[in-house]
Structure 1
Amino acid sequence: MTAEPRTGCDTEATYHRAGFGGTVRRGSRPALLVVDFTYGFTDPGYPTGADMAGPVRATRRLLDTVRAGHLPVAFTTIAYGPGEARSLTWLDKATGMASLTTGSRLVEIDSALDRRPHEPVFVKHGASAFFGTGVAPYLVSTGADTLVVAGATTSGCVRASVVDAVQLGFPVLVPHAAVADRDEGPHEANLFDIQQKYADVVDLDDALTYLAAAGRESDHR
């Protein structure tokens, strides 16, 4: 006998019964982490890229709000120096990432985000923003107690960064409109899983309101 396919409601009920899908607590000093919104991902002219203009615009709104409130922000980029790409097991699977070479346009933060000179860019060689980088110490040093994550790709580096952030003790929010992937299927599937197990996937306006309020509170301290 062939099993009937599950419906979306069945899936929601299964996760709810297992105790997933709770709500994370929100701290008073959030930070914004922008994962890999570099031209190698945001410019569809590159084989590794896709049209991410909408999520980039949404992230710019997050950045404007964070900057106005003097809250912490950090960017990441994937970049490989000479010889590094040949030594990494990940690139046996993701061979296209080898094109993200140090000094190339592909590893530059998309100019639509208007990164400021004092806003740090952490170079990574794998999926997670936290693996082998100084992102965690930076967040701790700024007093961040919650993380808002934007960037690309939802199914890869965003997801890996969210999982590691939670394991390091940071409550995480993921604004749906500010993350992007190369295909809608993996994008939505991973947002569902992130929402059920690791973070709150929220509307952009919700994230903006939260960040603005935290920024105003920070100014009064």
Structure 2
Amino acid sequence: MTHDAQTHQIYQRAGFGQAVPRGQNPAVLVVDFSCGFTDPACSLGSDLTAEVEATRRLLDAARAKGFLAVFTTIGFEPGLTDGALWIKKAPSLAELQLGGRWVEIDPRLARRESEPVILKKGASAFFGTNLASILIAQGVDTVILCGATTSGCIRATAIDLLQYGFPTLVPRECVGDRAPGPHEANLFDINQKYADVVSVDEAIAYIESLPARTAAMAH
């Protein structure tokens, strides 16, 4: 038996990997597809062109139906004291300074003014933010999670989405990491324990199967 087959057997025996329910009012949550992560010129970045383009397809499908899109970005004050211990553990995060290009959402995603950007200073999109309040106020019952990095902020956010009670889909083509090993390992773990890892085509088909959300419903 191969190592991968043995792992699958162990997880199957434990009863992991069941599907999450899917609601009628999904939101797309795009975590840290800021220029600092999607431009290799930044030491934190890598070439995530394919992932950004897949996420744009998903966003456009959600926008056409009137569903919420929320973005997050990491940014610190010049003094970096708001980075706390994270800056000491990962000093390259100091490049993500407020007001600089690396904090800006990748323009290829064509963020709209009505789509909130949440500033975060930790791995999870929920830590120290009002993300839960936004999702609850908009009646969101399912989250489609995109962004970077799979092994860091995506995993942390997927765990918290589960813990806050939001069924979550993670389109495989819409999340990325710096290296394939951590990316694949964390997608496997997320799918087994926290969310459903699906194809972007499946996520778009799910969105398109739902009735459009009207402006009156959204407020």
Deviations 1:182-214 (CA, angstroms, capped at 9, x unpaired): 000000000000001000000111000111222
Does the alignment pair 1:77 with 2:86? no
SS in 1 for 2:209: helix
Does the alignment pair 1:140 with 2:136? yes
How big is the shift at 1:83? 2.4
SS in 1 for 2:213: helix
Q: How does 1:42-191 map to 2 (within 5 A)?
A: 42-85=38-81, 88-191=84-187
Query: Structure 1's 96 and 21: CA in aligned 2 closer, same or farther, altered over 3 A?
Result: same
Structure 2: gaps (5+ residues): none
How big is the shift at 1:6? 5.1
Structure 1: gaps (5+ residues): none
* Cα separation, 1, equivalents of 2:179 and 2:81: 25
The letter for the 2-side match of 1:128 is S
* Cα separation, 2, equivalents of 1:158 and 1:64: 21
Runs (4+) of structure 1 moved beyond 2 Å?
82-87, 216-219
Partner of 1:212: 208
How big is the shift at 1:85? 4.2
Under a length normalisation based on structure 1, what TM-score does the superposition of the two structures give? 0.94
Deviations 1:73-116 (CA, angstroms, capped at 9, x unpaired): 10000000132346511121111111100000000000000000
* Cα separation, 1, equivalents of 2:81 and 2:190: 29
Percent of aligned pairs with the same amino acid: 52
SS in 2 for 1:89: helix
SS in 2 for 1:17: helix
Q: Does the aligned pair in 1 maintain the 2:172–2:199 contact within 8 Å? A: yes
Query: Structure 1's 146 and 89: CA in aligned 2 closer, same or farther, altered over 3 A?
Result: same
SS in 2 for 1:218: coil
SS in 1 for 2:73: strand
SS in 2 for 1:47: coil
Deviations 1:120-168 (CA, angstroms, capped at 9, x unpaired): 0000000000000111100011110011000000000011011001100
The number of residue pairs the alignment matches comes to 216
CA-atom RMSD in angstroms: 1.6
Q: Does the aligned pair in 2 maintain the 1:85–1:98 contact within 8 Å? A: no
* Cα separation, 2, equivalents of 1:146 and 1:176: 17
Under a length normalisation based on structure 2, what TM-score does the superposition of the two structures give? 0.95
* Cα separation, 1, equivalents of 2:78 and 2:95: 11
